[in-house]
Structure 1
């Protein structure tokens, strides 16, 4: 595969670190903290598990719908207005949510925030980093981005839990809105920019003839693209179901809100280590091999969680879950862009990444609500967690079948 040489590596890594901070704050205060808000919101509005889970579903759905639009725009225009505007929408959504009179308004407000997060975080950050960093270093770059998100998962759920317990969930949401506005917006005004020349990377509107790959319509007809999407859908269905339900599940087994948030933080710490470890391994073994290993481990980690209620094995099971599942559950988000580039080429990369995340994200957005329905219907989390482990195991099939061509850096 022909790849353009990237230069000015120092500037590129500064951009990556800046974007990692944005992901830390944006994901840490929103997606990573949704589970923390579930119990107090359920009590405040006297609603069911399914209704509260719908908050996460709407947030994930709108976030997912914003991703392909952001990817398509980033293939054509400057990233600064797109990503900065997304951060502003996130702040507005949480400020409205803080003053919601009922569950309906709260759901709509979190939907607005979801659009903002989708336009300012994962797909735009991956796309922008791929313009700055050479292909043979992108596994590490994407690991740094997701390590930023992992740091957010360590820090913010516990802070949000303390703020909610001390001042109420409305105060916590209002604080999140103000914090995003005062940090992510100015940071994105600085780092959300393309390289100055095509010698450093692909320009904002590159000549498609310079890039290997396929037209969007052609790519949509290729089985390997749909294998990639199937992989993402299965893994995301499993991961989101477990992630959003983790705090309520732990509290149902007797853990306090503070202890559940601490376990949440331990998962984030494992993810932080895993991002660097598996990013380095992908440079040596390839993204496909590492993802096969990580997905297998992740399925096993979910099964460990089933023993959380056991008096003798509970703490050991939680520790294994935090270590194994925590270090691997986010691996698809880190390595799937590399698999996409290796299987489909760099042409229309942003659009294809966004479309793939749209298809897989729309399907997986209903995972929290479906899990909540199963819990309400069966009065246990066991069936839902076993189903999540099975989905993760089935994802091994499309990963194995996906044909890839390893990327390499070409001298200028």
Structure 2
């Protein structure tokens, strides 16, 4: 293959494609790269606040809402289902729009919708209206966070640094998961859940919307930093990609891991409370998951410069599945605290790996063309199935009066995901 010299930054395209471990000094020193890392850090703050106060903290509202509105565990879990369902519906739309127009109006409008949903939720008189308001907020979160942020990172950051960039973005979400569940649990106890939701809406409007107005933009001179438009990998059209088995194998991997992780993530606080821990202690353990995920995001992001994303995800899934089994010992009077600590370390460091590494696997398998649309469609397919995971867990808890069966099922789903992960491969040249 002929060596292609990029006239903008002097980047050897063949070297980048062949060796992810050898970063280009010229590309790294280019002004677009400095701006790109500023954008990544700013978007990490947005993910910290929006994910930290919404998706990562839904479970701390479960018991107060159940008590206040007199609903069942299944009805309360439906709030998370509605939120996740609508969030995943927004992702392919956001990805498609970012492949075609400026990200600023898309992401800023999403943040405003997320805040509006929480304002309406705080004033909802019954569980039905509250569920609809959470669904509205989910639309906004889907349009302003994961898919748009990852898509922007692939445009600004050179390929051999994207794993680290994705890790930084998800570290923002992990920091939010450390801070906000404890803070919101304390706020709910001091005031009430309605006032707490209003405070969440205010934070998103006052911090995240202005940040997105400032940050959310594509590179000015190239659509992918370091590459001339003519030199970019063409990849596949959307219709062609949807007919390719390897794309659906990638979706199956995401679906199984997301089903498993969401079921545990949403049920964790109620499960720990049912095992005899206080709401405050459960929130601290919940925050410990965020701390472990933060370590995992950076560690595996750095390792992705040396190892294939597929191999890292295989190892991480095995470790995370073992961690789920540790959680079953949380109510043991002797082993309880040790079991929770081991669960936090193993599952906590690995549960976010699919979100961090699946974009790298997608680029390997499908190319950069239509990346935002294909990432959004994949997250839609996985999210539509996994959105019912919290409600299914709530139903099983109501039926069996124990969390043992739901936790075992979550572990089985994660173990099953090892097959589609192992089948991920680069297309032959």
Q: Shorter chain as normaliser: what TM range?
A: over 0.9
Distance 2:277 2:427 in 1: 47
Structure 1 partner of 2:9: none
Listed as ranges, the matches of 1:113-128 within 5 Å are 113-128=137-152
Distance 1:208 1:62 in 2: 37
2:176 to 129, 132, 152: 152
Structure 2 partner of 1:72: 96
Pairing 1:271–2:315 present: no
Structure 1 runs of 4+ with >3 Å offset: 1-7, 206-210
Distance 1:268 1:58 in 2: 23
Structure 1 partner of 2:210: 186
Q: CA deviation at 1:404?
A: 2.1
Distance 1:109 1:202 in 2: 42
- CA RMSD in angstroms comes to 1.8
**Native 8 Å contact 2:155 2:223 kept in 1:** no
Structure 1 partner of 2:127: 103
TM superposition score normalised by structure 1: 0.95
Structure 2 partner of 1:142: 166
Structure 1 partner of 2:322: 300
* Structure number with higher relative contact order (C-alpha < 8 Å, ≥ 6 residues apart): 1
**Native 8 Å contact 1:342 1:406 kept in 2:** no
**Native 8 Å contact 1:126 1:142 kept in 2:** yes
Distance 1:341 1:52 in 2: 38
Pairing 1:246–2:246 present: no
Distance 2:124 2:410 in 1: 32
1:35 to 59, 65, 85: 59
Listed as ranges, the matches of 1:158-177 within 5 Å are 158-177=182-201
Per-residue CA deviations over 1:62-110 (Å, capped at 9, x if unaligned) read 0000000000000000000000000000110001111111111110111
Structure 2 partner of 1:410: none
Gaps of 5+ in 1: 408-412
Distance 1:355 1:209 in 2: 25
Distance 2:226 2:369 in 1: 10
Cα 1:133–1:315 shift into 2, 3 Å? same
Distance 1:212 1:341 in 2: 11
Distance 2:66 2:119 in 1: 19
2:248 to 226, 237, 247: 226
**Native 8 Å contact 1:131 1:202 kept in 2:** no
TM superposition score normalised by structure 2: 0.92
Q: CA deviation at 1:140?
A: 0.2
Q: CA deviation at 1:200?
A: 5.7
- DSSP 3-state at the match of 2:262: helix
Listed as ranges, the matches of 1:321-336 within 5 Å are 321-336=343-358
**Native 8 Å contact 1:286 1:406 kept in 2:** no
Pairing 1:357–2:379 present: yes
Q: How many residues align?
A: 405
Pairing 1:387–2:409 present: yes
Q: CA deviation at 1:208?
A: 8.1
- DSSP 3-state at the match of 1:76: coil
Q: CA deviation at 1:249?
A: 0.2
Pairing 1:21–2:45 present: yes
Distance 1:312 1:155 in 2: 29
Pairing 1:58–2:82 present: yes
Q: CA deviation at 1:202?
A: 8.5
Gaps of 5+ in 2: 1-12, 18-23
Q: CA deviation at 1:210?
A: 3.8
Per-residue CA deviations over 1:250-288 (Å, capped at 9, x if unaligned) read 000000000000000000000000000011111111100
Distance 2:244 2:339 in 1: 42
Distance 1:112 1:208 in 2: 40
Distance 1:362 1:199 in 2: 30
Pairing 1:92–2:116 present: yes
Structure 1 partner of 2:4: none
- DSSP 3-state at the match of 1:285: coil
2:157 to 116, 133, 141: 133
